[in-house]
Amino acid sequence: MTQAVHCGAPIAIRAAAITFTGDPFTVGASAMHYESDAIVVMSDGRIVDFGAASSVASRLPVGTEVTRYTGCLISAGFIDAHVHYPQTSVIASYGKQLLDWLNDYTFPAEAAFVDPAHASEVARFFLEEALHAGTTSCAAFCTVHPESVDAFFAAAQSLGMRVIAGKVLMDRNAPEALLDSARSGYDQGKALIARWHDRDRLSYCVTPRFAATSSPEQLDAAGALWREHPGTYLQSHIAENRGEIEWVRKLFPERAGYLDVYDHFGLLGPRAIYGHGIWLSESEFARMHDTGTAIAHCPTSNTFLGSGLFRLHDALKPSRAVRVALATDIGGGTRFSMLSTMHEAYKVAQLNGRSLTALQAFYLATRGGARALYMDDRVGSIAPGMEADLVVLDLASTRLIAERMRHCENIEQALFVQMTLGDERSVRATYVAGALAAVSPGRATD
């Protein structure tokens, strides 16, 4: 692992490449641009040239070093739109559904983040693990401790990554050690925004955990904090588990439903991201569409915690399409790899009687995720002017994948094999802001 470098002479990489110029859910296969032999040129953190190697090679700046990745595919780096970095040690905790899982495993693990040294160690581990999986951006929950946010932003800044993160707000229904108050949560959030928001590639996110752990006063203060700082994000959870939904209904009997709780406190709109949304109604999807609010679909978490099957195709109904991104939800989720997450999203769609194409899955993990997060003008696709966050996938990373790939007849089939059988082992290299940030252990470029 090396630290990202933001300036210097141009560098270039050469391999097959895919990127999206549109939405495959609405326009089909024409949304993807595929080059069987491409060169991507990067300088000062951005992509400065991209196209067929035969044409880009002839206009490369003199002295540009070209790294060739034989048998590989370049894509925009993956975007994980909902993740809890302090839950890294909670992954693979046995036998509970959401509310018991929170009490028995998650809250005790989060209490340890009162220690800044622990927070720094886990933040670094988490981000390095993400980079090894080809994930270059994420929207992360920290813990209630402001120190957990300092640790995460400091680690992401040193790696040059574009991340969204914030301090969890909880003033009720959680262990004493994890509670703040409406006032202290607001004040700490304000100080964190002043310290971190818009520094380098960092964005602050106002983060009420979910309606059940915040009082009406705290949700009101969260809305005020978000409104007072344009450009910041807001993230929370919604309609994940039936027991959770029933609990929220009892806590807010005067509201029409779960989404209406957040709506009432001004917590919907562009740059608001809600995890899960499994049990949302038609009118709630329509309200999310109208307000430009995004859903982070977390399939490995939803199957692992037995929460239910997110109706992706319903959420994307063209007449009122909701912005949807893909996410791991570590540690309810079980994989850092967005390839594995695409695989699980495919299975969830199948169980809903629908099919998710490989193009749609790769779109959700790149440009579609960036669009849901209102950052598609910066990341999520390969084009001059975009920030140079890239993943290089080895298309034959295991013996089985190599064998299966021999039977693929086109790029769509090849991408489907990668998302179904691939994982961290598929990632040959990851570039962040135009610099090599991770390379798979034991492998060298050709």
Q: How many CA atoms lie within 13 A of 341 on its CB side?
A: 37
Within 69-88, which residues bind ligand GUN (CB under 6 A)?
84
Q: Which is nearer to Zn ion, 146 or 277 (CB)?
A: 277
Spatial CB neighbours of 84, under 8 Å, sequence gap ≥ 6: 90, 106, 140, 141, 329, 330, 331, 332
309 contacts 240 by C-beta, under 8 angstroms: no
Is 209 a binding residue for ligand GUN by CB under 6 A? The answer is yes
Is 344 a binding residue for ligand GUN by CB under 6 A? The answer is no
As measured in angstroms, the least distance from the Cβ of 209 to ligand GUN is: 5
Q: Binding string to Zn ion for residues 295 to 334, with x set by CB under 5 A, is what?
A: ----------------------------------x-----
Q: Binding string to ligand GUN for residues 300 to 319, with x set by CB under 6 A, is what?
A: -x------------------
Region of 260-268, 275-283, 367-375, 389-397 interacting with Zn ion (CB under 5 A): 275-283
Minimal CB distance residue for ligand GUN: 332
Q: Which is nearer to ligand GUN, 209 or 428 (CB)?
A: 209
DSSP 103: I
Residue 98 partner contact from Zn ion, ligand GUN, none using kind-dependent CB cut-offs of 5 to 8 Å:
ligand GUN
CA angle 126, 206, 209 (to 5 degrees): 70
Tell me the number of residues near ligand GUN by CB under 6 A: 11
As measured in angstroms, the least distance from the Cβ of 207 to ligand GUN is: 10
* CA–CA dist 386, 404 (Å, integer): 33
CA separation (Å) from 305 to 96, 102, 241, 332?
7, 11, 9, 7
Within 318-337, which residues bind ligand GUN (CB under 6 A)?
329, 332
* CA–CA dist 19, 346 (Å, integer): 20
List interacting residues with ligand GUN (CB under 6 A). Answer: 84, 98, 102, 106, 209-210, 237, 240, 301, 329, 332
